[in-house]
């Protein structure tokens, strides 16, 4: 079952009681990143492993830095900062590609289960460092095969990505608060260009501002009976001219066909007599 990212709220005291008549409530305590990371990791921390799981070894120095960070106070200017990536450089020599010598359990390294390691890796990254997995808490014991490590961390990595994403979203919502709501409302408001260009009542002010003056409208001319008569006469003249032109075209086409028939007849006669 996935852990809740918010801690249980304590029951309100008499001073923090809800004033139902005025509609006032006491502001809930919002968790900080330090507290949320601590609660998330501790929810999966365990002293025992499940079947087919192995210990993922982490350097003690890094774990101490992380514990100091999550137990710090944001209001304190001297509070510890977040640790860097989980590289395990004090345990594994990347150049020689081997475990360093003379390492002691608890003093130099500690073991965590796959889910806790996946949370650390998702929160801080690993800088491409390979996980150090052992079936026992002995760093010099037989290493776990790469394929087994990959299969062992597949599901924990997916769950860690989901938990960390949920935690980040909750933190962002707390940090934005009313400011985020105000920003969202301003984005949803109509812009000046939209109001002027897309709404009819603002079209004239927009044109007046952009073009130096609003739209002009031509005054409608009063129509008399003489205008109607002249319009009808013009229409009849256009129709007569059009019909005359079509007759002329038909006549010319007829003459061309007649001349072509006569020419072909003369050619046939000349061919028979010749």
pLDDT band at 11 (very low <50, low <70, confident <90, very high): very low
Pairing of strands 109-112, 98-99: unpaired
Q: What average pLDDT does range 16-36 have in this prediction?
A: 54
> In this model, does residue 177 exceed pLDDT 90?
no
Task: Sketch out the chain's domains with CATH numbers.
Answer: 33-177 (3.30.2230.10)
Residue 216 has pLDDT above 70, yes or no: no
What's the pLDDT score for residue 5?
53
Q: Which contacts (CB < 8 Å, 24+ apart) does range 168-171 have?
A: 170/5, 170/6, 170/36, 171/33, 171/36
DSSP state of 274: -
pTM above threshold 0.75: no
CB burial of 118-135 (b: ≥16 within 10 Å; e: otherwise) equals bbbbbbbeeeebebbbbe
């Amino acid at each position: 079952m996935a852990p809740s990212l918010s801690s249980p709220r304590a029951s309100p005291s008499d001073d923090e009681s809800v004033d139902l008549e005025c509609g006032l409530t006491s502001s809930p305590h919002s968790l900080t990143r330090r507290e949320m990371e601590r609660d998330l990791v501790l929810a999966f921390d365990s002293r025992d492993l499940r079947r087919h799981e192995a210990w993922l070894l982490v350097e003690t120095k890094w774990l101490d830095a992380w514990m100091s960070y999550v137990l710090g106070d944001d209001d304190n200017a001297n509070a510890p900062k977040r640790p860097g990536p989980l590289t395990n450089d004090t345990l594994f020599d990347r150049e020689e590609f081997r475990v360093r010598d003379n390492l002691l359990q608890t003093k130099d390294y500690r073991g965590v289960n796959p889910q806790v390691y996946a949370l650390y890796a998702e929160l801080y990254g690993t800088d491409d460092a390979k996980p150090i997995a052992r079936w026992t808490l002995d760093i010099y014991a037989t290493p776990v095969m790469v394929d087994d490590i990959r299969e062992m961390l597949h599901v924990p990595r997916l769950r860690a990505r989901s938990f960390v994403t949920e935690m980040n979203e909750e933190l962002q919502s707390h940090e934005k608060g009313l400011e985020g709501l105000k920003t969202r409302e301003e984005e949803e408001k109509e812009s000046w260009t939209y109001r002027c260009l897309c709404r009819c009542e603002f079209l004239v002010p927009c044109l007046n501002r952009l073009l130096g003056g609003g739209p002009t409208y031509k005054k409608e001319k009063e129509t008399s009976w003489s205008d109607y008569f002249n319009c009808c006469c013009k229409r009849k003249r256009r129709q007569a001219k059009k019909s005359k032109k079509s007759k002329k075209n038909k006549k010319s086409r007829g003459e061309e066909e007649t001349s072509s028939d006569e020419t072909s007849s003369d050619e046939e006669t000349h061919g028979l007599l010749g």
